[in-house]
Amino acid sequence: MKILTCPLNGPRPVSEFFYWGEVRPMPEPTTASDDEWADYVFNRNGAPGVKREWWCHTPSNTWFIAERDTEKDVVLKTYFYPGEE
């Protein structure tokens, strides 16, 4: 992957982007147990596969989702987080 397609700015060099990890649902902080919270804070799905990830196009500060195969380094699609356009 050398070119990543920003949903706002189109195809741009990957050096313009910032990677912020897999999209993960946050448990409710006030009701989560210590174990659930530690699991959310620290544990990661480190195995290879197709993942939904947060990326940011830094010059325009555009946050979006990329679906990427982390073994082949191929981006399947990019789109805004549902409800944010």
Partner 1 sequence: MPWRLLRFALNKKHPEPRMFTHHDKLKSSYDVVIIGAGGHGLAAAYYLARDHGITNVCVLEKGYIGGGNTGRNTTIIRSNYLTPEGVKFYDESVKLWQDLSTEFDLNLFYANRGHFTLAHTDSALRTMRWRAEVNKHYGVNSEVVGPEAVKEAAPMIDLSCAGHAPILGALYHAPGSVARHDAVAWGYGRGADQRGVEIHQQTEVLGIDVQGGKVKGVKTSRGYIATNKVLCAVAGSTPRILKMVDVKTPLYIHPLQAMVSEPVKPWLDPILVSGSLHVYISQSARGELVMGASLDPYELHGTRSTLDFVEGLSTHMLEMFPFLSNVKVMRQWAGMADMTPDFAPIMGKTPVEGFYLDSGWGTWGFKATPVCGKTMSHTLVNDTPHPLITGFSLERFRNFALTGEKGAASVGH
Establish if 73 lies at the interface with partner 1 (CB under 8 A).
yes
Q: How far is CA 5 from CA 38, 52, 70, 73, 81, in A?
A: 34, 15, 17, 14, 15
Q: Which two tokens stand for residue 80?
A: 């805004």
Interface map 51-70 toward partner 1 (x if CB under 8 A): x-x----------------x
Q: Could you tell me the smallest distance in angstroms from the CB atom of residue 11 to partner 1?
A: 16
Residues lying near partner 1 in the complex (CB under 8 A): 2, 14-15, 18-19, 21, 34-35, 38-39, 42-48, 51, 53, 70-73
